[in-house]
Every structure is written in C-alpha cells, then in structure tokens.
Structure 1
Amino acid sequence: MKLGILGGSAVSALPGLEGGHRHAQETPWGWPSDALLEGEIAGLPVVFLARHGAGHHIAPAEINYRANIAALKARGCTAVVSVAACGSFVESLPPGSLAIPDQIVDRTWGRPSSFFGGGLVAHISVADPVVTELAGHVAAAAQVWGIPHEQGGTYLAIQGPRFQTRAESRLAKAEGHSVVGMTAMPEAALCREAEMAYAIAAFVTDYDSWREEVVTTAAVMEVARANREQAGFLVQALCARLAAMPLSAAGGWAHALDEAILTPRAHWPTEAAARLRAIAPRFFA
C-alpha cells in the first residue's frame, strides 16, 4: 500500500523519510496546494502534501480539496491520513492530546465537495467517513510513543478561517461533538469517491471557546508547535505498522463506487468521464 499524508498546522517534518523527492502533479481539477513530497518511511511508500501550501498561505475555505485528493490518487495512494490541529469540547482531550474521531458533522459551505457532476451523477455513501481499521492503526501508533489519545467521537467541520463564537462553541459542546476543525470535509467525502481509506489524527491545541478563556491564534500556534514533534513520531510509528500490516478492504472503501454511479454508461459525457479517470480508473479508463 501507499499512504498519503495531508499535513496542516500539526505537522511540518517527516522524521525517517528516505529517498525524499518532490513531484509536481497537475489534476483535472487544477494544481494541489503544493508539490508532493514522496519517499519511504519505515519501508512504507508515502506521499506528503501540505494542504495549506508552503508557508501556510491557503485558508481552509480556499484549499483546492479536489486537486489535493486527486493528486494523491494519481501518485498511487490507497489510504490518506489527515494530520491536523483541532479544538476540543471535552475535558478528556486537553491541549497536547490526540483525537482520532470516527464521525464528522459538516458545517462548511461553498466548497466543491464531489468529483462528479457535469452530467455524470454518483451518490457516494459516507455513513462511516473514517475507516475504522486505519483509525485503529493511528491509535496503536500513538500508543507506541505514549501520546495521550482518544479514539472515536465526532469532528465538527466548520468553515473558518475564524474561530467560533462562545455561543457556537457551547452549542457544539451541547450537541455532543468531540473536536472542531476546518478541513476534514470535504476531504473525507472526496477520499471515499476516490476509493481511498481515510482517517484523522487531530492534535488538540485548545478548548475552543466553551470555557471562559479566549482562544487566540498566538496561543493555538504555541501549542501546535509543541505538537509537531509528536506528530512526526506518530507518522513514523504509523508507517511502520502499515508496512507490516497493510490495510484490508474491510468497510467497503475500496469499492465505494460499485453501486454509486447512477448515470447509465451510454449517457456519460465524454468530458466528465475523462476527468473522472483520474480518481476512478477502474470505471473510466
């Protein structure tokens, strides 16, 4: 297998990377956020992409999510782990800990969230947007380094780039969400359309705004910097596990499109089908 790693504020280096080289990868949906960094970690082929670009210059709502996921697919990735920063709604996930959620609530808007369209329709199932097996490997990797973590719970995806108001934060906590971030959607849905496994490793930087303290960018980035070393160690241990125990196709992610495409083949527009070849070659090659 080949692992795609989407890095945000939580990761800036890949300890143990061997044979690293950069690759520019254009897609039918444009260019990804940055050049792809390819190599091997602990014997596992990996592709790293900085989702906010070099120097963190792309805001969450401005990311070309379709190009990012399509570029990872084009380089042969079969699974994607999002290493990101998040805020916490629960005392059991304090700053410095790791959340490995299994569900997502999407409150983003205006982000292109599907590769399909243009006369070719598919309805993908994302009832379980995170692949349990992959999330379990993330949790086991955290255990190796003694990183305090919690597997399960709900990631609330918000539009950003601003943080939440205190009322929004307290409402989210009352709704039972575990953490809040700005990038898991449409990443998770696009990975499912591209038939790649997806999991989230979200390093907690703050308690959002449901407590009395005010969340500031300076405070968040201070914790994020402290989390980066742990994020690098986590990725290294995760790669070692996946090299020894590659993912199975359990959960259906590898065949997610089998019954999802509604438009009959005879009615597939040539242009739309040609684009989709990049993310679903077994259907559109």
Structure 2
Amino acid sequence: MVTSAEIGVIGGSGFYSLLDDAQEIDLSTPYGPPSDVVTVGRIGSRSVAFIPRHGRDHRFPPHRIPYRANLWALRSLGVRQVLAPSAVGSLRAEVGPGAIVVPDQLVDRTSGRPQTYYDEGGAVHVSFADPYCPSGRAVAVESARAAGWNTVDGGTLVVIEGPRFSTRAESRWFAGNGWTIVGMTGFPEAVLARELALCYTSLSLVTDLDAGVETGEGVTHDEVLEFFARNVTRMRTLVAEAVEALPSERACPCGAALDGIKLPFELP
C-alpha cells in the first residue's frame, strides 16, 4: 500500500487510470482541502500522487482552484517533483492543435488569486526568473519527441484570469509580445511550487488557435474539452513515460530555492 509519493501530477479527471495500486487519501491543509481527494499509487517503480486540478466533477473554475492547498498537500505526501499537464490555446499559427509545448517562461495576467504562502510573518522573496525545472523540462521534451508528438521546446505561457477566453485584441497583444501559448491554470501553480522548493514542469497540449490567430467565431469551451478528450489517452501515456524518466535524485536548482531564507513557519 502506497501512502506517500515522490512525484505529483496535477491534471484532468482523465488521468485517474494513470496509477497502479491506487488508493485515495483525504487530506486537509492550512489552506483548506485540495481540489479533491488525492489518489496515490505507482507508475512502474515510481510512487505518484495525483490531484484533479478542477475536482473530479470539474466544480472549480480556473480562478477558484485551491492552488495553495493542492501544492501543500502534494509536498506533505513527500512529493518533490510535479508534472502539470494542461490544455492551452496557441498564439502562433505554426503551433497548431495537437502540439505539445514545454514552456520555459511564464507571464502572469491573473488578478486576485492568492499566489504566495508567505503573506505574513515576514518577507520571503524567492527567485522566479526561470519558473520551470530544467531537469523536468528536458525529460518532458525528450519523452514527447520519443512518442511522436509535435513538440515545442521552450516558449512563453501567458496565464489569464478566466473563466472567459481572450478578446481578439488581447490575443493579438499577447502574440505581439512574442508569447507562445495562453492558459488559465499555470499560475499560481508554478510560483507556489517554487515557494515549496518543488520541481514544476508544464506539459501544455495545444487544443486550439487563440482568438487573435483563428478566423471565425473564436474558440468555445466545448471545443476545447472535446479536443482534450480525444487526446487524453495519448497524454496519459506521455505523462506516465515522463514520470518514469524523471531523475531519482534532484540535481536542479529547484530544491535549493529556499536556501538561506528564514521561513516564518516549517514546511511539511
């Protein structure tokens, strides 16, 4: 029976069948309950904890997801590396639906989301110049290419507040800045992972061309869900392969993110 995990996956409900020997763990955190019970099990020799980002019934819209509770729950189970598959829109015509983007940069265009664990007890400033784990990114790119995905190594993910999609003007502005993809959930997940000294890697599946790139009436919610559903089995396989390929010992800078910083409380 697995009651702890070394790797975390935050994704959609289609990832439940990812794990062998799975069991559910109901956790509480100082930030409330996570999106749902955490499922812990194995992929090959690796112990993995899975959280459905929006809840198994998709009850949490992007701006209401309990991001702090989700990352805290994973760390409390022993997780130190996190893979985060998600659906995104493309801001570049040449990066069409079906591509996997493994971003190396992030732009926050959200508002009002709690985005730190350190909002009292003294200032804690963590480096966030490079938001994603370099080791996790390398594994994700190699795994995606080996599986035959059209893979984009690097690029900027701009995260919008949601739940609405972008206007055409916003989308063109994002593209004009040289950004690559747009989503609604990659922030504050990434910075909260950094504040807990976790490795965090985004696996972004392009489901559509964003409003400023696409002609016609623009993307709809149903179209995004339908495209992701058609690809979820393949995405699940990719995540499993990436999990098994992640290093067993971390040599990246992520684990040292809090070195030399006086924390106002003890981490799990």
Normalising by structure 2, we get a TM-score of 0.93
Deviation, 1:133, is 1.0
SS at match of 1:52: coil
Deviation, 1:235, is 1.2
Give the root-mean-square deviation of aligned CA atoms.
Answer: 1.5
1:79 and 2:78 aligned: no
SS at match of 2:27: coil
Alpha-carbon distance between aligned partners in 1 of 2:18 and 2:170, rounded to the nearest angstrom: 40
Alpha-carbon distance between aligned partners in 1 of 2:257 and 2:77, rounded to the nearest angstrom: 19
* Aligned residue in 2 for 1:6: 10
Unaligned runs of 5+ in 1: none
Q: Where does 1:193-208 land on structure 2 (aligned, <5 Å)? A: 193-208=195-210
For 2:224, the aligned partner's letter is: V
* Aligned residue in 1 for 2:51: 49
SS at match of 2:70: helix
For 1:237, the aligned partner's letter is: E
> CA 1:150 to 1:17, structure 2 compared with 1: closer, same or farther past 3 Å?
same
Return the match for 1:212 from 212, 215, 233. Answer: 215
For 1:84, the aligned partner's letter is: S
Q: Where does 1:274-285 land on structure 2 (aligned, <5 Å)? A: 277=266, 280-281=267-268
Unaligned runs of 5+ in 2: none
Q: Where does 1:234-273 land on structure 2 (aligned, <5 Å)? A: 234-242=238-246, 245-250=247-252, 252-261=253-262, 273=265
* Aligned residue in 2 for 1:232: 236
Alpha-carbon distance between aligned partners in 1 of 2:48 and 2:9, rounded to the nearest angstrom: 7
* Aligned residue in 2 for 1:141: 143
Alpha-carbon distance between aligned partners in 1 of 2:222 and 2:117, rounded to the nearest angstrom: 36
Q: Where does 1:100-139 land on structure 2 (aligned, <5 Å)? A: 100-139=102-141
* Aligned residue in 1 for 2:69: 67
CA contact (8 A) 1:209 1:215 kept: yes
Return the match for 1:165 from 156, 164, 167. Answer: 167
For 2:107, the aligned partner's letter is: V
Deviation, 1:229, is 1.4
SS at match of 2:15: coil
Deviation, 1:163, is 0.4
CA contact (8 A) 1:21 1:39 kept: yes
For 2:7, the aligned partner's letter is: L
Alpha-carbon distance between aligned partners in 2 of 1:103 and 1:40, rounded to the nearest angstrom: 30
CA contact (8 A) 1:42 1:239 kept: no
SS at match of 1:219: helix
For 2:248, the aligned partner's letter is: P
Q: Where does 1:150-189 land on structure 2 (aligned, <5 Å)? A: 150-189=152-191
SS at match of 1:106: strand
Please give the per-residue CA displacement for 1:50-107, whole angstroms capped at 9, x wherever unaligned.
Answer: 0100111101110111000000000100011111000001133211111100100001
Alpha-carbon distance between aligned partners in 1 of 2:95 and 2:46, rounded to the nearest angstrom: 30
1:27 and 2:29 aligned: yes
Please give the per-residue CA displacement for 1:24-54, whole angstroms capped at 9, x wherever unaligned.
Answer: 1111111000000100102111000001001
Alpha-carbon distance between aligned partners in 2 of 1:248 and 1:197, rounded to the nearest angstrom: 9
Please give the per-residue CA displacement for 1:209-257, whole angstroms capped at 9, x wherever unaligned.
Answer: 0122311122212211112112111012112212xx425232x210111
Alpha-carbon distance between aligned partners in 1 of 2:26 and 2:197, rounded to the nearest angstrom: 22
> CA 1:53 to 1:22, structure 2 compared with 1: closer, same or farther past 3 Å?
same
Give runs of ≥4 in structure 1 deviating > 3 Å: none
SS at match of 2:173: helix
Q: Where does 1:90-101 land on structure 2 (aligned, <5 Å)? A: 90-101=92-103
142-151 or 57-66: which moved more?
A: 142-151
Please give the per-residue CA displacement for 1:1-37, whole angstroms capped at 9, x wherever unaligned.
Answer: 81100003xx613555211000011111110000001
